[in-house]
Amino acid sequence: MTSHAMVEPIDPANSDRLTLEDVYEVIASSSRLDNPEAPVLTFDEAIGRLKNPQPGLGQVLRWAVRRGNHVVGLASLYFPEAENSHLGLLELTVHPRARRGGIGTAVLRTITPELRVRGRTVVECWNITEGGAGASFGTARGFEAVSTTVLQMLSISTVDRSVWEVEPPIGYRLVSWCGLAPDELLASYAEARRAIADSPFGRSAFRFPAWTAERVRESEADRRHREIDHRVVAIVRQDSDEVVGFTELQVYPHRKNFAYQGDTAVLAQHRGHSLGFCAKAAMLRWLQTERPEVEQVMTSTTAANPYMVNVNLALGYRSARRMVILACETEKLAQLLRA
């Protein structure tokens, strides 16, 4: 650790206002430098995100790095469960003015014992800008880029919405819901969700969940508890309750003008009919009607899936930047940090 910096656990839900203002300054100044094309979060959005973390990623531990009286760095380490209980997911941000002083490395030293004690054999950092500071830091500290994704953004006010006016092809119907899948579609929907595992995810150690009806209901309850508006458009075979594909989108309570387009999948035997485009277009029409305050939609897609990247372009998204997933085995990291 640098002689002046201390890495300390932090709980944003129980932190004083001055600490949170410092934390916000780390997040906002880094965002302006590292992601200049993205809107900078407001204080409430950024702190709301820390207090209400993304669902499905398990328990999270957070640390603040203090230098003198100020917070100059923030780290969050997620411990996903079930098929991902071998994995730790790290988010790490150092204030631009405090970089290259060993703070990022000090955080790696702090998290390594936490990874070990929880049996997390691999640590990954997601959404790292290709060619940016995070990628250089990762390379210097033994991480490898294992997958590349494309971040795409859609601006509701400027997009040509006429391209969203498409009907499902003959033989299919669309069924939409907020928060709770209809009972009669539940089992089939869980099965369709498993088709996302066909999406190429490079050499990341992340494993897609083996969705079951029970796990769908658990995840729905978790989102309700976090007050997330989770919307699904399912593609259903006409005259049946067979879900053959779906797309999902969510809006968080702390960021009401922003939507995250999540997973989209179509079962292999139903591909080639533009069903993914049709479901995503229906989702955007629905969003525009029911959540007119949403100004931007964001999505990230693996670069090895140019088909879905192009579907998004056709819907009016623009590609903002390429990002990588960095991965390192915990034992390798521990060894390199000792050296």
Ligand X SMILES: CC(C)(COP(=O)(O)OP(=O)(O)OC[C@H]1O[C@@H](n2cnc3c(N)ncnc32)[C@H](O)[C@@H]1OP(=O)(O)O)[C@@H](O)C(=O)NCCC(=O)NCCS
Q: Least distance in Å: CB of 79 to ligand X?
A: 17
Q: Is 146 in the site for ligand X (CB under 6 A)?
A: no
Q: Does 196 bind ligand X (CB under 6 A)?
A: no
Q: Could you give the CA distance from residue 279 to residue 275 in angstroms, rounded to a whole number?
A: 6
Helix axes 43-51, 17-34, angle to 10 degrees: 110
Residue 240: CB atoms within 10 Å: 10
From candidates 29, 85, 105, 274, binder to ligand X by CB under 6 A: 105
Least Å distance, CB 98 to ligand X, is 7
CA within 13 Å, CB half, 135: 15
Nearer to ligand X among residue 109 and residue 237 (C-beta):
109
Residue-by-residue DSSP string for 64-113: EEEETTEEEEEEEEEE--GGGTTEEEEEEEE-GGGTTSSHHHHHHHHHHH
CB of 93 to ligand X, least distance (A): 4
Least Cβ distance, residue 33 to ligand X (angstroms): 8
- Contact status, residue 12 vs residue 50, Cβ threshold 8 Å: yes
Strand partners, 319: 152
Q: Work out how close the CB of 312 gets to ligand X at its nearest, in angstroms, rounded to a whole number.
A: 24
The tokens for 259 are 């939507």
35 touches ligand X (CB under 6 A): no
Shortest approach of ligand X to residue 106 CB, angstroms?
7
94 is a contact residue toward ligand X (CB under 6 A) = yes
* Site membership for ligand X, residue 136 (CB under 6 A): yes
17 binds ligand X (CB under 6 A): no
**Any contact of residue 138 with ligand X (CB under 6 A)?**
yes
Could you say which of 93, 152, 261, 299 contacts ligand X (CB under 6 A)? 93
Q: In this structure, how many other beta carbons lie within 10 angstroms of the beta carbon of residue 338? A: 8
Closest CB to ligand X belongs to which residue?
Answer: 134
Binding flag, residue 99, ligand X (CB under 6 A) = yes
Pick one of 10, 23, 27, 103: the residue that binds ligand X (CB under 6 A).
103
Q: Which is nearer to ligand X, 39 or 132 (CB)?
A: 132
The DSSP element (H or E) to which 177 belongs, if any, is strand 172-178
Q: Is 148 in the site for ligand X (CB under 6 A)?
A: no
| Contacts (Cβ under 8 Å, ≥6 apart) of 109 | 1, 7, 337
Query: In angstroms, rounded to a whole number, what is the distance separating the alpha carbons of residues 106 and 41?
Result: 26
DSSP label at 167?
P
Q: Between helices 103-117 and 330-338, what is the axis angle to 10°?
A: 130
- Is residue 72 involved in binding ligand X (CB under 6 A)? no
Question: What are the distances in angstroms from CA 82 to CA 85, 88, 218?
Answer: 6, 13, 13
Query: Of 9, 16, 17, 100, which lies in the binding site for ligand X, with binding defined by CB under 6 A?
Result: 100
State which of residues 12, 88, 134, 142 lies at the interface with ligand X (CB under 6 A): 134
Q: Least distance to ligand X from the beta carbon of 67, Å?
A: 11
> Closest approach of Cβ 42 to ligand X, in Å?
19
- Tell whether residue 326 is a contact of ligand X (CB under 6 A): yes
Q: Is the dihedral of CA 272, 275, 280, 284 positive or negative?
A: positive
Q: How far is the CB of 66 from ligand X (least distance, A)?
A: 14
Nearer to ligand X by C-beta: 34 or 242? 34
Residues near ligand X (CB under 6 A) are 30, 34, 92-94, 99-105, 125, 128, 132-134, 136-138, 140, 326
